């Protein structure tokens, strides 16, 4: 089952299966009226709270589909606190091997549950904004919403 909700950054599509989110992405489709599904209602409410600054952590079951390595990367992303950014190299180091930087970046980019699994909190080693499935402007907006220190530094220049 799915729903498309409005957000300050555009429409967001939430897909669930067995009361677990399997996909969350930006969508060009128009919003759909909320189905009679308590789980999707809860997910929508929590996202609205996030965008209004009232929520820093999500309380939703997820079941992203991916390889074992991708799952390991996505689990590591969940450990990055609200408002904090790390580099791709730091992500690879946290996975235990700095040589996995490209693979970690690739898994980060294939994250099927954006925002909730915070792939937007991973940036380049020198603070540069690198790829984001929703677009760099959305990544910047999410980091600014969270008050990430990298955004404050970038806005000085």
Catalytic residues: 119
Closest Cα to residue 121, out of 156, 94, 97?
94
Of all helices (H) and strands (E), which one includes residue 109? helix 101-109
CB 108 within 8 A of CB 85: no
Q: How far is CA 2 from CA 89, 117, 138, in A?
A: 35, 18, 22
Token code pair at residue 100: 């996995």
């Amino acid at each position: 089952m799915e729903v498309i909700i409005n957000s300050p950054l555009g429409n967001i599509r939430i897909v669930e299966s067995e009361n677990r989110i399997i996909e969350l992405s930006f969508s060009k489709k128009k919003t759909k009226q909320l189905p009679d599904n308590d789980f999707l209602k809860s997910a929508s409410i929590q996202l609205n709270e996030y965008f209004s600054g009232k929520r820093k952590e999500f309380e939703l079951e997820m079941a992203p589909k991916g390889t074992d390595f991708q799952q390991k990367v996505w689990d590591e992303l969940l450990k990055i606190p609200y408002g904090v950014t790390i580099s791709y190299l730091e992500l690879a180091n946290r996975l235990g091997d700095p040589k996995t930087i490209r693979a970690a970046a690739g898994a980060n980019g294939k994250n099927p549950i954006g925002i909730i699994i915070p792939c937007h909190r991973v940036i380049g080693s020198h603070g540069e904004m690198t790829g984001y499935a929703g677009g760099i402007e959305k990544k910047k907006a999410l980091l600014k919403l969270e008050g990430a220190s990298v955004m404050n530094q970038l806005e000085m220049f």
